[in-house]
Amino acid sequence: MRQQVASSPKSSPKVATALAVLGKGNRMKPTKEEIRRAIDSYFMQSLDGLDVTAFVLDRIGRDEMERDAKTTHRSMEQAKQEMGKLISQELLRQMFWDVEVLDSVKVDPTIWPGLAGWVATYTQHRVGRRR
């Protein structure tokens, strides 16, 4: 069963804003290794996993996602969806014992201004112990 998490101490707007600032300016290529590093960076700041997908997408950035979509002959929508699946269904599951998929939430432009123009929603997660 999917559920939406409204807010917790670790997923407060203040924490999410700090994570968004941490990711800003640190653009990366969307390789599995770079994505794993971004996930590690996220979990150094927040233990809950709620905004890990938003954080990774913000670190990659629109330009790099568009470049990746073009070189792999996919639409931007396909590239974003596949990135979300890679994070949720593969990488988080390799890194953590339990991964709970929660609801999709709208991007809050006050927290994720770099995503607001190209990402409408992202799926939140809750993770268990690290492997």
Per-residue pLDDT 10s for the chain (131 aa) are 444 443 333 344 544 544 554 445 456 677 899 999 999 999 998 777 899 999 999 999 999 999 989 999 999 999 999 999 999 999 999 999 999 999 999 999 999 999 999 999 999 999 988 88
Is residue 81 assigned to a domain? yes
3 falls within a domain: no
Domain count, the chain: 1
1 within domain boundaries: no
Q: How far apart are CA 99 and CA 32, in angstroms?
A: 18
> For residue 48, is it within any domain?
yes
Q: What is the Cα–Cα distance from 8 to 17, expressed in whole angstroms?
A: 14
Whether 56 is covered by a domain: the verdict is yes
**Is residue 83 included in any domain, yes or no?**
yes
pLDDT tens, residue by residue, 5-35: 433 333 445 445 445 544 454 566 778 999 9
Asked whether residue 103 is domain-assigned, the answer is yes
* Containing structural domain, residue 36: 9-127
Tokens of 45: 């700041």
Nearest to 35 by CA among 21, 23, 47, 48: 23
Is 2 domain-assigned?
Answer: no
